[in-house]
Structure 1
Amino acid sequence: MNKPRNELDATDRTILRLLQQDGTLSNPKLAEQLSLSVTPCWRRLKRLEDDGYITGYQANLDRRKLGLDVLAFVQVSFGAHGGELPNQFEAAMLAQPQVLSCHKITGDADYLLQVVAQSLDDYSQFVEQVLRRLPGVSAIHSSLALREIKAGSRLPLP
């Protein structure tokens, strides 16, 4: 019954799709939508969690209603790429709640961050008090979002 890690059938994909739309679906309601009994549905869900397809559950929040009006995309470059400096930077980003995402990238910069702040002053303070103080950082380029067209974390499922 255990399938190879990357092999999902149509029911597995439907479970993932339904849970991306509503992570609060109970197992009985999920089973009903799939026309499965509760136990086989629970087994499939548990396998998807155990295999790492489902990494957690969370509510999607409106950042603006929470007073987080600034959304910045920040490119960070390092002067030297060896040693522990990149690891220290990554650890520092993991500890910053206003950093929504941090990606090591190719191109002109070394990292791309997505950062939220209440105001431009708060964002400026983050840059000055956090980013500029990290050893090895040689350049910081910020792009502020003027308007959010689409934001989400739902993955396309074939």
Structure 2
Amino acid sequence: MDIFDRRILRALQKDSQRPIAELARDIGLSTSACHRRIKLLEENGLIRGYAAQIDRTALGLKLQVFVEITLSSQAREVLEAFETAVTRFDDILECHLTSGHADYILRVVARDMNDYADIHRECLSRLPNVASMQTIFTLRPVQQWRGYPIRDAD
């Protein structure tokens, strides 16, 4: 990956809807060279797809929570059963295996506290082998996701 590939990735993370001609001009490439590089970045798996950034609050999802999960055991079959179950619930946006006092951290959004109570009852409480669960309510975002840092080569 060279400086032009990094410029392309930075620009696409900010706005993947820009016309290629505009993108190429801004990073100092011809349109065809820029297009060719984007296709190679896609083929090599650096660009996995394109998506719209949706405002969750505009969808009515005003409550965002992180849920720390500790399982009853660290046995492989316990971890696998939990991870399989997590993928069955659309209300669980993200699940990360972690180190530290919790085994997993989940990210969940809900319309309000009543909606979260329903998600807790119908989804989270049905996850297998959970020994303890702690919900952390976010008050407000301080820094939102802006993309991965793409640093210049040393």
TM-score normalized by structure 2?
0.90
Residue 144 of structure 2 aligns with an amino acid whose one-letter code is A
Does the alignment pair 1:58 with 2:17?
no
**Deviation (angstroms), 1:153:** 4.2
Q: Identity over aligned residues, as a percent?
A: 37
Does the alignment pair 1:37 with 2:30?
yes
Count of matched residue positions in the alignment of Structure 1 and Structure 2:
151
Residue 91 of structure 1 aligns with an amino acid whose one-letter code is T
Does the alignment pair 1:108 with 2:101?
yes
**Deviation (angstroms), 1:87:** 2.0
Q: Which residue among 69, 74, 77 is the counterpart of 1:76?
A: 69
Cα distance in 2, alignment partners of residues 130 and 153 from structure 1: 29
**Deviation (angstroms), 1:155:** 1.2
Contact 1:72 1:142 in 2 (8 A): yes
Question: Which protein has greater RCO, CA pairs closer than 8 Å, 6+ apart?
Answer: 2
Cα distance in 1, alignment partners of residues 110 and 125 from structure 2: 17
Question: SS in structure 1 opposite 2:141?
Answer: coil
Residue 12 of structure 2 aligns with an amino acid whose one-letter code is L
- Change beyond 3 A, Cα 1:32–1:95: farther
1:48 equivalent in structure 2: 41
Residues 2-35 of structure 1, C-alpha deviations (whole Å, 9 max, x = no match): xxxxxx2111110001001101123222222223
Question: SS in structure 2 opposite 1:84?
Answer: helix
1:24 equivalent in structure 2: 17
Moved more, 13-22 or 81-90: 81-90
Matches within 5 A, 1:6-17: 8-17=1-10
Residue 34 of structure 1 aligns with an amino acid whose one-letter code is I
What is the root-mean-square deviation of aligned Cα atoms in Å?
A: 1.5
**Deviation (angstroms), 1:122:** 1.2
Contact 1:99 1:113 in 2 (8 A): yes
Question: SS in structure 2 opposite 1:64?
Answer: coil
Cα distance in 2, alignment partners of residues 26 and 99 from structure 1: 34
Cα distance in 2, alignment partners of residues 32 and 42 from structure 1: 12
